[in-house]
């Protein structure tokens, strides 16, 4: 009954290298004309994280048979495809995408054949015109490939389907289990053709009577057809760039949103200490025959996050954030960390005394968020961004793709209780006018998409930042005693005065009602490098640095917490940062890339657990 089928496994793959035209290649692959050296790879994975293609840039082609009931349409969902991609079924282009961490969904047209051919063309080359979301100067390595899970879901014969389900705890009645349920249905005549029944946890399903029903015009406030071939979604990244090809699949079906206030029986709150989860089961039924067309289960938690009186509050109790920034990265797999490693990382974070992780600097893997929900870890999830330049903000393609990534992130992660903060555009020029339009648009979009979470961005210009009034939570990245610590006799002494100065200046600007989070702070420590001088890059300097950073931030009454930079060492580029990045790694991890603890581990553990 239209349950999604997971397509992860062994696929055909060929690295075509620096060939110019993706479109031609896909046609030739489908027709069998292309002469390629096929190999077998695991999906999901990054092809350039493998030994044979390490560090290579160019086009990779994936091929896999698809089984779809003849006459039925289907939805093909990718957790992430990096960096630029086009997806074809039987030679028909379904769409293209240019944000390598954002989830994507394409509609596959019906056919008389049961066996279809899926071809995914991936390009991991930097190209500002085509892929402006990805830049070579980011401080983390950007890979190519189908990075996250792929699933296929057939659309019921009636041609109506559940596009999204959102469950929002009521800010007043959440303790009693009051939630707002919103269901987006897609298809033709959705409101008259289909009925919805729901039930919480083990309770029997009941018809959703008395639900308000809206036809949604445009994209905001509902689902967005990100990356599809259609032109309807504000976030569609198809079209203009890089493609000949007409729009071939119709996706401009109306969206109907059903909205109802419901009560969860036997409600239990979610928190990091007691991460209770509830489940909603939802059935889509044919209005004529009452036949079940589709069944979905959605997991959620009852919790409320607020920013008021200059502090954070979770379920009405003051929250102090103790946590880390984390890259989804492991040397053996690049950005495709196995779930067992994600689990181990969360266990390590909890052992360190953390209640929080910032998913720097892109949309998170749903498997990681599932684990955070289950194990009780608060999350900041953010749209892909890293110190973009003025030129970038003038690019229409960037603005479009950035918005698409934002919508896709919120759509995918909406029901995770662990996610409490939406972030965007890490360390952009937030002291400059040229980001005003995108900052205002992004915060307005986020508020419209989800009024239940906090909004923030990590600023590196706290003294003259222009946009703090737009967000709920002021977040500052600062590295006193590391950058700028050269030629100073006791650089660790720089930490306290600078953090105090940052917060005083924020308050002096009349922003004392907004909580302040130190969203990054840290120093490099090379694993195994200990030396009597305890100078820069030793494990000991790093340990002393983090101890002082935690003391200063957590003792400051205006600081709602700290997210250390960063959890484990991760690969970056040489480029202009080469001489500050030994091994071409960002070595500020408290653990190295294999999760071997450095000296700082025990120090942070003690400081966070105090």
Spatial neighbors of 116 by CB under 8 A, at least 6 apart, are: 65, 66, 67, 68, 89, 90, 108
* CB-based burial label for 411 (10 Å; 0-12, 13-18, 19+): buried
By DSSP bridging, strand 160-169 and strand 92-97 are: unpaired
Which residue reads 């014969």 in tokens? 157
Distance CA 415, CA 164 (A): 10
Binding of ligand ADA by 63 (CB under 6 A): no
Q: Which of 111, 251, 426, 443 binds ligand ADA (CB under 6 A)?
A: 426
Q: Which is nearer to ligand ADA, 184 or 465 (CB)?
A: 465
What's the Cα-to-Cα distance from 303 to each of 174, 201, 369, rounded to whole Å? 7, 17, 16
> What's the min distance (Å) between Cβ of 179 and ligand ADA?
35
Quote the tokens at residue 235: 């976030």
Note whether 477 binds ligand ADA by CB under 6 A.
yes
As a whole number of angstroms, the distance between CA 333 and CA 330 comes to 5
What are the Cα distances from residue 314, in Å, to 302, 320, 321, 417?
11, 10, 11, 11
**Among 324, 565, 567, 601, which residue interacts with ligand ADA (rule: CB under 6 A)?**
565
- Smallest separation, CB 411 to ligand ADA (Å): 25
Q: Which of 606, 550, 502 is nearest to 321 (CA)?
A: 550
Residues of span 110-149 touching ligand ADA by CB under 6 A = 139
In this structure, what is the dihedral angle of CA atoms 354, 307, 438, 466, given to the nearest 10 degrees? -100
Site string for ligand ADA, 353-392 (x = CB under 6 A): -------x--------------------------------
Residue nearer to ligand ADA on the CB measure, 107 or 524: 524
User: Which residues lie below 8 Å from residue 320, measured CB to CB, with a gap of 6+?
Assistant: 312, 554, 560, 561
Helix axes 339-351, 366-375, angle to 10 degrees: 40
427 versus 496: smaller Cβ distance to ligand ADA:
427
Q: Cβ closer to ligand ADA: 245 or 522?
A: 522
User: What are the backbone dihedrals phi and psi of residue 97, each rounded to the nearest 5 degrees, phi first?
Assistant: -145, 150
Q: Which is nearer to ligand ADA, 168 or 477 (CB)?
A: 477
> Distance between CA 90 and CA 325 in Å, rounded?
42
Per-position DSSP letters for 31-58, written without gaps between them: HT------EEEEES--GGGSTTTTT--S
Q: How far is the CB of 341 from ligand ADA (least distance, A)?
A: 20
8 Å CB contact between 194 and 285: yes
Which residue number, 236 or 586, has a Cβ lying nearer to ligand ADA?
A: 586
Q: In angstroms, give the least distance from the CB of 357 to ligand ADA.
A: 14
Nearer to ligand ADA, 15 or 529 (CB): 529
Among residues 285, 298, 247, the alpha carbon closest in space to that of 107 is found at: 247
Which lies closer to ligand ADA via its Cβ, residue 139 or residue 592?
Answer: 139
Cβ-based nearer residue to ligand ADA, 161 or 368:
368
Q: How far is the CB of 378 from ligand ADA (least distance, A)?
A: 19
Please identify, using beta-carbon distances, which residue of 568 and 586 lies nearer to ligand ADA. 586
Shortest distance, CB of residue 93 to ligand ADA, whole angstroms? 35
Q: 196, 258 in Cβ contact below 8 A?
A: yes
Closest to ligand ADA by CB, 401 or 524: 524
Question: What residues from 573 to 592 belong to the interface with ligand ADA (CB under 6 A)?
Answer: 586, 588
The CB-of-524 to ligand ADA minimum distance in angstroms stands at 8
Binding-site string for ligand ADA from residue 160 to residue 189, where x marks contact by CB under 6 A and - marks none: ------------------------------
Helices and strands in the chain, H and E counts: 10, 34
Q: What is the smallest separation between the CB atom of 579 and ligand ADA, expressed in angstroms?
A: 13
The least CB distance from residue 596 to ligand ADA, in Å, is 19
Q: 61's torsion region: left (phi>0), alpha (psi -120 to 50) or beta? A: beta
Binding residues with ligand ADA: total (CB under 6 A): 9
Binder of ligand ADA out of 520, 539, 548, 599 (CB under 6 A) = 520
Query: Quick count: other Cβ atoms within 10 Å of Cβ 148?
Result: 25
State in angstroms the smallest separation of the CB of 327 from ligand ADA: 8
Q: CB of residue 115 vs ligand ADA: minimum separation in angstroms?
A: 45
Q: Which residues bind ligand ADA (CB under 6 A)?
A: 139, 360, 426-427, 477, 520, 565, 586, 588
């Amino acid at each position: 009954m239209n349950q999604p089928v997971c397509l992860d496994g062994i696929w055909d793959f060929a690295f075509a290298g620096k060939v110019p035209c993706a479109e031609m290649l896909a046609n030739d692959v489908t027709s069998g004309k292309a002469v390629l050296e096929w190999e077998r790879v695991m999906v999901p994975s990054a092809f350039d994280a493998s030994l044979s293609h390490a560090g290579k840039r160019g086009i990779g082609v994936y091929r896999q048979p698809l089984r779809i009931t003849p006459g039925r349409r289907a939805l093909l969902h990718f957790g992430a495809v990096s960096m630029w991609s086009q997806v074809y079924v039987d030679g028909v282009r379904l769409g293209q995408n240019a944000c390598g961490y954002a989830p994507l969904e394409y509609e596959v047209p019906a056919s008389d054949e049961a066996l279809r051919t899926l071809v995914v063309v991936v390009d991991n080359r930097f190209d500002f015109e085509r892929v402006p979301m990805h830049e070579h100067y980011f401080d983390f390595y950007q890979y190519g490939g189908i990075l996250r899970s792929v699933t296929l879901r057939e659309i019921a014969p009636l041609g109506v389907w559940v596009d999204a389900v959102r469950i929002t705890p009521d800010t007043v009645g959440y303790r009693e289990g009051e939630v707002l349920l919103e269901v987006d249905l897609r298809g033709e005549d959705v409101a008259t053709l289909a009925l919805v029944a729901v039930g919480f946890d083990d309770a029997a399903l009941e018809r959703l009577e008395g639900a308000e029903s809206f036809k949604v015009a445009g994209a905001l406030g509902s689902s967005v057809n990100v990356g599809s071939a259609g032109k309807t979604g504000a976030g569609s990244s198809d079209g203009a760039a890089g493609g000949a090809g007409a729009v071939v699949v119709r996706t401009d079906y109306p969206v109907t949103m059903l909205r109802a206030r419901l009560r969860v029986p036997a409600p239990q709150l979610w928190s990091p200490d007691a991460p209770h989860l509830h489940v909603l089961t939802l059935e889509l039924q044919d209005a004529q025959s009452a036949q079940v067309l589709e069944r979905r289960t959605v997991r959620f938690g009852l919790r409320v996050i607020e920013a008021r009186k200059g502090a954070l509050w979770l379920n009405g109790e003051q929250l102090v954030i103790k946590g880390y920034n984390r890259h989804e990265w492991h040397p053996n797999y690049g950005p495709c960390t196995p779930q067992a490693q994600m689990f181990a990382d969360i266990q390590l974070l909890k052992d360190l005394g953390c209640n929080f992780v910032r998913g720097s600097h892109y949309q998170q893997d749903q498997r990681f968020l599932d684990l955070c929900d289950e194990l009780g870890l608060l999350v900041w999830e953010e749209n892909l961004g890293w110190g973009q330049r003025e030129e970038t903000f003038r690019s229409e393609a960037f603005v479009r793709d950035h918005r698409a990534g934002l919508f896709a992130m919120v759509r995918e992660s909406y029901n995770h209780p662990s996610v409490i903060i939406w972030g965007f555009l890490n360390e952009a020029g937030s002291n400059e006018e040229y980001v005003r339009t995108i900052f205002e648009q992004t915060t307005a979009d986020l508020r419209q998409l989800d009024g239940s979470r906090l909004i923030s961005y990590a600023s590196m210009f706290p003294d003259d930042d222009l946009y703090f009034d737009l967000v709920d939570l002021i977040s500052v990245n600062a590295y006193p005693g590391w950058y700028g610590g050269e030629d100073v006799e006791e650089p660790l002494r720089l930490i306290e005065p600078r953090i105090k100065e940052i917060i005083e200046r924020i308050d002096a600007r009349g922003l004392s009602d907004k909580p302040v989070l130190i969203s990054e702070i840290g120093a490099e420590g090379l694993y195994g490098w200990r030396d009597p001088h305890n100078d820069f890059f030793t494990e000991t300097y790093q340990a002393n640095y983090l101890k002082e950073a935690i003391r200063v931030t957590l003792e400051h009454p205006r600081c709602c917490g700290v997210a250390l930079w960063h959890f484990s060492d991760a690969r970056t580029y040489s480029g202009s940062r080469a001489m500050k990045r030994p091994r071409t790694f960002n070595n500020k991890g408290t653990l190295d890339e294999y999760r071997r603890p450095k000296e700082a581990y025990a120090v942070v553990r003690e400081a966070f657990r105090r």
